[in-house]
Structure 1
């Protein structure tokens, strides 16, 4: 290998994800939704974790309470999520996507599938499986640390 960034596997993996996310959020930002990168991360998280607490989301997003409160308020104002006190502990705020928020999350997933197909264009099924196995091994190496 040379000293070029283009020969650094981890740098290329980082740049692939950067380009993937940039393209995905360009489509949402420039579309009718006015969705930011952070908005998209929240929608994706709550789509996977409906009813998560504001604290759960803050830990996932690595943001403090004040930052999360502003982000959540903005998403409520856009009618993308609702927040309600927990039934057992009213100090805990539970977050749920609205129908509009869930629709945008679904569109994000569809865009993600399209971008994945674009990224893997020209690779046959066997090559895609080989790439997946190699990347999974790299990922698993970090799980052992």
Structure 2
């Protein structure tokens, strides 16, 4: 009897596993394409370098500490990333006029152009991914993914 109950439970889990396999597969494909775009782009950026540039594009004049708080990443890793981006001419540091102990980071003109080009490409990729889905279907998908997220967040 126990064996048949385990089999029933295993069968019940298969559709749930298929959902997460599909989500994983989509994210893997998306990230692989994005990685190729970053690598083959004008500045050969890593995923994390792109994320750092994106943060400073959205929050110009933030500090490295602001980035650490926002990302939750290791401060040493972030310091190396910021230093590399500065050395490559993509980030510039400006001393804070009100508190000279703080250094504010900004995208350079070149980094702004690179970031905008990557955003345009990403929008094209995302739009291609959801092509053929109606607005209603997109809304349903967002609602369902939101419910899955809430289920995961409510777990102890």
Question: TM-score, normalization: structure 2?
Answer: 0.76
Structure having the higher helix fraction is 2
Structure 2: state its 5+ residue gaps. Answer: 1-11
State whether residues 25 and 40 of structure 1, in contact with CA within 8 Å, keep that contact through their aligned partners in structure 2.
Answer: no
* Greater relative CO (CA pairs within 8 A, separation 6+): 1
1:38 aligns with 2:48: yes
**Matching of residues 63-78 of structure 1 within 5 Å:** 63-78=73-88
Per the alignment, residue 5 of structure 2 pairs with none
TM-score by length of 1: 0.81
Q: Which of 71, 78, 81 is the aligned partner of 1:61? A: 71
Question: Which whole-Å CA distance do the structure 1 matches of 2:59 and 2:24 have between them?
Answer: 25
**Bigger mean CA offset, 70-79 vs 86-95:** 86-95
Tell me, which stretches of 5 or more residues in structure 1 are unaligned? Answer: none
Identify the residue that residue 7 of structure 1 maps to in structure 2. 18
- Deviation of 1:2 (Å): 4.2
Based on CA coordinates, which of the two structures has the bigger radius of gyration?
2
**Residues 22/63 of structure 1: CA separation in 2 closer, same or farther (3 Å cut):** same
